[in-house]
Amino acid sequence: MINKVVNNAEEAIADIPDNATLMLGGFGLCGIPENCISALVKKGVTGLTCISNNAGVDDFGIGLMLQTRQVKKMISSYVGENAEFERQLLSGELEVDLIPQGTLAERIRAGGAGIPAFFTPAGYGTEVAEGKEVREFDGKHYLLESWLRADFALVKAWKGDKAGNLVFKGTARNFNPMMATAGKITIAEVEELVEVGELDPNQIHTSGIFVQRIFEGKNYEKRIEQRTTKIK
Protein backbone atom coordinates (compact mmCIF):
# COMPACT_ATOMS: atom_id res chain seq x y z
CA MET A 1 0.00 0.00 0.00
CA ILE A 2 1.12 3.54 -0.73
CA ASN A 3 0.39 5.57 2.37
CA LYS A 4 -1.06 8.96 1.45
CA VAL A 5 -2.04 10.16 4.89
CA VAL A 6 -1.05 13.62 6.07
CA ASN A 7 -1.89 15.01 9.51
CA ASN A 8 -4.15 17.90 8.69
CA ALA A 9 -5.16 20.57 6.17
CA GLU A 10 -2.19 22.84 6.99
CA GLU A 11 0.25 20.06 6.13
CA ALA A 12 -1.73 19.03 3.05
CA ILE A 13 -1.69 22.49 1.48
CA ALA A 14 1.73 23.64 2.75
CA ASP A 15 3.32 23.66 -0.72
CA ILE A 16 0.51 25.45 -2.60
CA PRO A 17 2.26 28.54 -3.97
CA ASP A 18 0.96 31.99 -4.92
CA ASN A 19 -0.66 32.08 -8.40
CA ALA A 20 -1.56 28.37 -8.34
CA THR A 21 -4.58 27.02 -10.21
CA LEU A 22 -6.90 25.17 -7.85
CA MET A 23 -10.02 23.09 -8.27
CA LEU A 24 -12.40 23.06 -5.30
CA GLY A 25 -15.24 20.54 -5.10
CA GLY A 26 -18.79 21.34 -4.05
CA PHE A 27 -22.17 22.54 -5.26
CA GLY A 28 -23.18 25.61 -3.29
CA LEU A 29 -21.85 24.85 0.20
CA CYS A 30 -22.58 21.12 -0.18
CA GLY A 31 -19.46 18.95 -0.34
CA ILE A 32 -16.88 21.75 -0.15
CA PRO A 33 -13.37 21.18 1.29
CA GLU A 34 -13.96 23.28 4.42
CA ASN A 35 -10.70 22.39 6.17
CA CYS A 36 -8.51 23.14 3.13
CA ILE A 37 -10.24 26.49 2.55
CA SER A 38 -9.61 27.52 6.19
CA ALA A 39 -5.96 26.47 5.86
CA LEU A 40 -5.54 28.46 2.62
CA VAL A 41 -6.96 31.55 4.31
CA LYS A 42 -4.55 31.06 7.23
CA LYS A 43 -1.57 30.50 4.89
CA GLY A 44 -2.44 33.64 2.93
CA VAL A 45 -1.48 32.50 -0.58
CA THR A 46 -2.59 35.00 -3.20
CA GLY A 47 -3.18 35.31 -6.95
CA LEU A 48 -5.14 32.06 -7.03
CA THR A 49 -7.21 30.87 -9.97
CA CYS A 50 -10.10 28.88 -8.52
CA ILE A 51 -12.15 26.45 -10.57
CA SER A 52 -15.33 25.71 -8.65
CA ASN A 53 -19.00 25.51 -9.63
CA ASN A 54 -19.86 28.31 -7.19
CA ALA A 55 -17.99 30.93 -5.17
CA GLY A 56 -19.44 30.23 -1.73
CA VAL A 57 -21.37 32.85 0.24
CA ASP A 58 -19.99 36.07 1.73
CA ASP A 59 -18.75 34.49 4.96
CA PHE A 60 -18.26 30.82 4.08
CA GLY A 61 -16.66 28.58 1.50
CA ILE A 62 -14.65 30.34 -1.22
CA GLY A 63 -16.26 33.58 0.00
CA LEU A 64 -13.70 33.53 2.84
CA MET A 65 -10.85 33.63 0.28
CA LEU A 66 -12.57 36.46 -1.61
CA GLN A 67 -12.78 38.54 1.58
CA THR A 68 -9.01 38.23 1.99
CA ARG A 69 -8.45 39.02 -1.74
CA GLN A 70 -6.59 35.77 -2.35
CA VAL A 71 -8.45 34.97 -5.57
CA LYS A 72 -7.38 36.52 -8.87
CA LYS A 73 -9.74 34.59 -11.10
CA MET A 74 -12.83 32.40 -10.67
CA ILE A 75 -13.96 29.81 -13.21
CA SER A 76 -17.55 28.90 -12.26
CA SER A 77 -21.05 28.33 -13.58
CA TYR A 78 -23.12 30.21 -10.99
CA VAL A 79 -21.98 32.82 -8.51
CA GLY A 80 -25.28 34.36 -7.48
CA GLU A 81 -25.10 33.78 -3.73
CA ASN A 82 -22.19 36.08 -3.03
CA ALA A 83 -22.46 39.88 -2.81
CA GLU A 84 -18.73 40.41 -2.22
CA PHE A 85 -18.03 38.42 -5.39
CA GLU A 86 -20.38 40.61 -7.40
CA ARG A 87 -18.78 43.76 -5.97
CA GLN A 88 -15.22 42.63 -6.82
CA LEU A 89 -16.32 41.58 -10.28
CA LEU A 90 -18.11 44.82 -11.16
CA SER A 91 -15.18 46.87 -9.80
CA GLY A 92 -12.71 44.88 -11.92
CA GLU A 93 -10.73 43.47 -8.96
CA LEU A 94 -11.65 39.92 -9.89
CA GLU A 95 -11.61 38.13 -13.24
CA VAL A 96 -14.37 35.64 -13.88
CA ASP A 97 -15.03 33.04 -16.52
CA LEU A 98 -18.65 31.83 -16.45
CA ILE A 99 -19.18 28.43 -18.04
CA PRO A 100 -22.32 26.32 -18.51
CA GLN A 101 -22.43 23.84 -15.65
CA GLY A 102 -22.40 20.70 -17.77
CA THR A 103 -19.55 22.07 -19.87
CA LEU A 104 -17.60 22.85 -16.70
CA ALA A 105 -18.15 19.32 -15.38
CA GLU A 106 -17.17 17.75 -18.70
CA ARG A 107 -14.09 19.96 -19.18
CA ILE A 108 -12.84 18.79 -15.78
CA ARG A 109 -13.72 15.18 -16.54
CA ALA A 110 -11.88 15.50 -19.87
CA GLY A 111 -8.85 16.99 -18.12
CA GLY A 112 -8.61 14.02 -15.82
CA ALA A 113 -9.27 11.51 -18.60
CA GLY A 114 -6.65 12.76 -21.07
CA ILE A 115 -9.16 14.15 -23.58
CA PRO A 116 -7.94 17.61 -24.71
CA ALA A 117 -11.22 18.75 -26.27
CA PHE A 118 -14.78 17.72 -27.10
CA PHE A 119 -17.92 19.08 -28.75
CA THR A 120 -21.01 20.09 -26.76
CA PRO A 121 -24.30 21.76 -27.78
CA ALA A 122 -24.46 23.98 -24.66
CA GLY A 123 -24.02 27.65 -25.47
CA TYR A 124 -24.32 27.42 -29.25
CA GLY A 125 -25.69 30.72 -30.58
CA THR A 126 -24.94 32.56 -27.30
CA GLU A 127 -22.06 34.73 -26.14
CA VAL A 128 -20.45 31.59 -24.69
CA ALA A 129 -19.76 30.55 -28.30
CA GLU A 130 -17.69 33.64 -29.14
CA GLY A 131 -14.30 32.63 -30.55
CA LYS A 132 -15.05 28.91 -30.43
CA GLU A 133 -15.06 26.44 -33.29
CA VAL A 134 -18.55 25.32 -34.30
CA ARG A 135 -19.16 22.03 -36.03
CA GLU A 136 -22.33 20.35 -37.22
CA PHE A 137 -23.08 16.70 -36.44
CA ASP A 138 -26.32 15.12 -37.70
CA GLY A 139 -27.83 18.53 -38.35
CA LYS A 140 -27.14 20.02 -34.92
CA HIS A 141 -24.48 22.57 -33.96
CA TYR A 142 -21.83 22.00 -31.32
CA LEU A 143 -19.02 24.04 -29.74
CA LEU A 144 -15.46 22.85 -29.31
CA GLU A 145 -14.52 23.04 -25.63
CA SER A 146 -11.12 22.24 -24.13
CA TRP A 147 -10.11 20.35 -21.02
CA LEU A 148 -9.41 21.89 -17.63
CA ARG A 149 -6.65 20.76 -15.32
CA ALA A 150 -5.27 22.17 -12.08
CA ASP A 151 -2.07 22.30 -10.05
CA PHE A 152 -4.02 21.16 -7.01
CA ALA A 153 -7.51 19.67 -6.70
CA LEU A 154 -9.11 20.00 -3.25
CA VAL A 155 -11.95 17.55 -2.76
CA LYS A 156 -14.18 16.52 0.11
CA ALA A 157 -15.53 13.01 0.66
CA TRP A 158 -17.56 11.30 3.34
CA LYS A 159 -15.22 8.36 3.93
CA GLY A 160 -11.78 7.54 2.67
CA ASP A 161 -9.05 5.01 3.36
CA LYS A 162 -5.32 5.45 3.74
CA ALA A 163 -4.77 4.41 0.10
CA GLY A 164 -6.89 7.36 -1.05
CA ASN A 165 -10.07 5.52 -2.03
CA LEU A 166 -13.11 7.75 -1.57
CA VAL A 167 -16.83 7.36 -0.90
CA PHE A 168 -19.16 10.36 -1.19
CA LYS A 169 -22.52 10.89 0.47
CA GLY A 170 -25.75 12.29 -0.98
CA THR A 171 -25.44 15.25 -3.32
CA ALA A 172 -22.10 16.16 -1.74
CA ARG A 173 -20.53 14.12 -4.56
CA ASN A 174 -21.20 16.71 -7.34
CA PHE A 175 -17.89 17.98 -8.85
CA ASN A 176 -15.61 16.15 -6.42
CA PRO A 177 -15.02 12.91 -8.39
CA MET A 178 -14.03 14.65 -11.64
CA MET A 179 -11.85 17.19 -9.85
CA ALA A 180 -10.03 14.37 -8.06
CA THR A 181 -8.93 13.10 -11.48
CA ALA A 182 -7.87 16.49 -12.86
CA GLY A 183 -5.41 17.75 -10.24
CA LYS A 184 -1.65 17.24 -10.59
CA ILE A 185 -1.82 16.89 -6.83
CA THR A 186 -5.22 15.90 -5.43
CA ILE A 187 -5.85 16.49 -1.76
CA ALA A 188 -8.84 14.71 -0.26
CA GLU A 189 -10.32 15.67 3.10
CA VAL A 190 -12.75 13.16 4.56
CA GLU A 191 -15.10 13.04 7.51
CA GLU A 192 -13.91 9.57 8.44
CA LEU A 193 -10.51 8.11 7.55
CA VAL A 194 -10.35 4.32 7.84
CA GLU A 195 -7.74 1.58 7.44
CA VAL A 196 -7.33 -0.06 4.04
CA GLY A 197 -9.65 -3.02 3.70
CA GLU A 198 -12.45 -1.41 5.67
CA LEU A 199 -14.20 0.04 2.61
CA ASP A 200 -15.96 -2.36 0.23
CA PRO A 201 -14.15 -2.13 -3.15
CA ASN A 202 -17.56 -2.42 -4.86
CA GLN A 203 -18.70 0.81 -3.25
CA ILE A 204 -15.69 3.06 -4.01
CA HIS A 205 -16.63 6.17 -6.04
CA THR A 206 -13.10 7.53 -6.60
CA SER A 207 -10.17 5.14 -6.84
CA GLY A 208 -7.10 5.92 -4.77
CA ILE A 209 -4.93 6.29 -7.87
CA PHE A 210 -6.34 9.81 -8.28
CA VAL A 211 -5.56 10.94 -4.73
CA GLN A 212 -2.07 11.98 -3.60
CA ARG A 213 -2.84 13.20 -0.06
CA ILE A 214 -5.64 12.39 2.36
CA PHE A 215 -6.55 13.47 5.87
CA GLU A 216 -9.45 13.32 8.29
CA GLY A 217 -10.94 16.79 8.55
CA LYS A 218 -12.36 18.24 11.72
CA ASN A 219 -15.14 20.55 12.94
CA TYR A 220 -17.24 20.28 9.79
CA GLU A 221 -19.82 23.04 9.84
CA LYS A 222 -21.73 21.86 6.71
CA ARG A 223 -23.67 25.06 6.49
CA ILE A 224 -27.08 24.90 4.76
CA GLU A 225 -27.98 27.72 2.34
CA GLN A 226 -31.74 27.11 2.09
CA ARG A 227 -33.00 25.06 5.02
CA THR A 228 -36.39 23.97 3.70
CA THR A 229 -38.72 21.64 5.56
CA LYS A 230 -42.13 20.14 5.02
CA ILE A 231 -44.95 22.63 5.50
CA LYS A 232 -46.94 21.44 8.52
Partner 1 sequence: MSLDKIGIAKRIAQEVQDGTYINLGIGIPTLVANFIPDNINVVLQSENGLLGIGPFPEEEEVDADLINAGKQTVTTMAGSSLFSSAESFAMIRGGHVDLTILGAMEVSENGDIANWKIPGKMVKGMGGAMDLVASAENIIVAMQHCSRSGDSKLLKECTLPITGIRCVKKIVTDLAVMDVLPEGGFKLIERAPGVSVEEIEAATEGKLIIEGEIPEMQID
User: Min. distance of Cβ 154 from partner 1 in angstroms?
Assistant: 16
Residue nearer to partner 1 on the CB measure, 43 or 205: 205
Residue nearer to partner 1 on the CB measure, 21 or 103: 103
User: Min. distance of Cβ 46 from partner 1 in angstroms?
Assistant: 23
Residue nearer to partner 1 on the CB measure, 46 or 78: 78
User: Min. distance of Cβ 133 from partner 1 in angstroms?
Assistant: 16
Q: What is the 3-state secondary structure of 202-218? A: HHCCECHHHCCEEEECC
Residue nearer to partner 1 on the CB measure, 27 or 45: 27
CA atoms within 13 A on the CB side of 14: 7
Binding site for partner 1 (CB under 8 A): 27-31, 53, 76-81, 86, 89-90, 96, 98, 100-106, 108-109, 120-128, 158, 168-178, 205, 222-231
User: Min. distance of Cβ 22 from partner 1 in angstroms?
Assistant: 17
| H or E element that contains 35 | helix 34-43
User: Min. distance of Cβ 19 from partner 1 in angstroms?
Assistant: 24
CA dist., res. 167 & res. 142, Å (int): 34
The residues that bridge with 145 in the sheet, in sequence order, are: 118
Residue nearer to partner 1 on the CB measure, 43 or 158: 158
* Residues 27 and 155: beta-carbon distance below 8 Å: no
CA dist., res. 58 & res. 192, Å (int): 28
CA dist., res. 119 & res. 18, Å (int): 33
User: Min. distance of Cβ 183 from partner 1 in angstroms?
Assistant: 15
Residue nearer to partner 1 on the CB measure, 26 or 164: 26
Sorted by sequence, the CB contacts under 8 Å of residue 182 that are 6+ apart come out as 23, 108, 109, 111, 112, 147, 148, 149, 150, 153
Q: Which amino acid is at 167?
A: V
